[in-house]
Amino acid sequence: MPPVEDHPLRYALANELHARPFPSLTAPCHAAFLAIKQEVDASARDRDLDRAHLLTLLDRYGAPHPQPGATHWFGQLGRYELKWESHTEFVTYTLFGDGVADRPFDGTTFAAFPEDWLDDAPGVRMTSALVRVEKHPGDDKVFDTLGDWFVPESLACSRVLDDSVVIAGDFRIDASGHMRFAVFVGDECGPRRLGRVVQRLCEIETYKSMSMLGLSRVRSMGGSLTGIDETLTHIMGQMTGQMAGGTAPADNTLDSLLQVSSELEALSAKAAYRFAATGAYETLVNQRIEILREERFRGLQTFAEFMMRRFDPAMRTVKATERRIASMSSRASRASDLLRTRVDVERSAQNQSLLESMDKRADLQLRLQKTVEGLSVVAISYYAVNLALYMAQPVGDAAGLSKLVLAALLTPVVILGVWWMVRRIRDKME
């Protein structure tokens, strides 16, 4: 029996699940993370430019190239390991190196990314971060160290993965332009688990930054939405006046309402993708934090609490604006339906008046026609009597009848004949 034929994408789809392995790290070590995004239409960007930019970096270090069309790559880059990933709206570069510098969060790690190469990036920096990984020196030492490295009011810190790791960060951009995260590793944490923790921190920062684009979009739309809302309220006020017997033409109001509706639809269409992406990124942020299984460290706020206080309000603002646009669109649609109904009723009344006017005109035309018919009978009878006299004159002379008597005899007969003929013709036409 021949084997069952495989779907052409079977192996590719199965391998996709294992294509982006987590790094394997051993403390002490450090990581430098960079996310690059095209400023506009990032989801529709030319991804070949991203791969070409990666190849330029790999060629500088003599590193092997990824497969054509690849969306991820992991390999040696000089004395570092590089992980490159292409996402829907951005690409990420993560450098992993052994050991840590004496100075905490030394930005010189980013020197592995040549300055001219960064200048030629097909996009702008969305975020970048430095991650410092050390052996856990004890809770007291960690607590004192965090106070020196981070801003206390913004500091988020927690024990994760069954108290095998302590993570910390303040989500502030330092003087060198990077976010900073610290990871303190216990002896029970293995290399792969540590790699997952570092990867999760980079993902939390990236997805958090991408989510905040939704808030920026909402703020830029605020003035337009307020103006449209005021216009819509004014139009609905006009409609109320018209319903109460106002004289403003409904057609003009309908045109204004349709204009507002079109502006709302255009605004909604422009923001729809960003709102959807913001919701997706927000979900990823919360999922990544939940996976870490946080526990409180020395009374400090956890990453989840930081997000609840600083991040969630921004996301609620985005959702509220999305609901506001939907509500305004619904109001405009309902108002358009009501006003369109009123316009239809007014036009029906106008049509009724026009039909009545046409009936009156038809009645007048009928009367005029009857008048003309009467006049035509007289005119035709006049000429018919003359013709009859010419024809009957010989008979009248033989009978001794004068012309006057003969005319008196013929006139009633001719008139009746003409009237009967005209009436017959009109009956046939009807």
pLDDT in tens, 123-132: 999 999 999 9
**What is the pLDDT confidence band of residue 1, given thresholds at 50, 70 and 90?**
very low
Measured distance CA(390)–CA(148) in Å, rounded: 138
Number of H helices, E strands in the chain: 9, 9
Tell me which residue of 91, 84, 95, 87 sits closest to 122, measured CA to CA: 91
Structure tokens at 281: 């990124």
Query: Taking residues 115-123, what's their average pLDDT?
Result: 94
Measured distance CA(195)–CA(180) in Å, rounded: 17
Q: Which amino acid appears at position 284 of this protein?
A: L
- Tokens 């502030």 belong to 172
**Contact criterion met (CB below 8 Å) for 157 and 170:** no
User: DSSP string of 39-56?
Assistant: SSSGGGS-HHHHHHHHHH
Tell me which residue of 130, 129, 136, 169 sits closest to 151, measured CA to CA: 169
Given a cut of 60, whether residue 243 has pLDDT beyond it is no
Domain ranges of the chain: 19-190, 212-354, 364-429
**Contact criterion met (CB below 8 Å) for 97 and 79:** yes
Tell me which residue of 375, 386, 381, 373 sits closest to 412, measured CA to CA: 381
Structure tokens at 282: 């927000």
pLDDT in tens, 372-415: 666 666 777 777 777 777 777 777 677 767 777 767 777 787 77
**Contact criterion met (CB below 8 Å) for 93 and 113:** yes
With 0.85 as the threshold, say if the pTM is over it.
no
- Tokens 């307020």 belong to 226
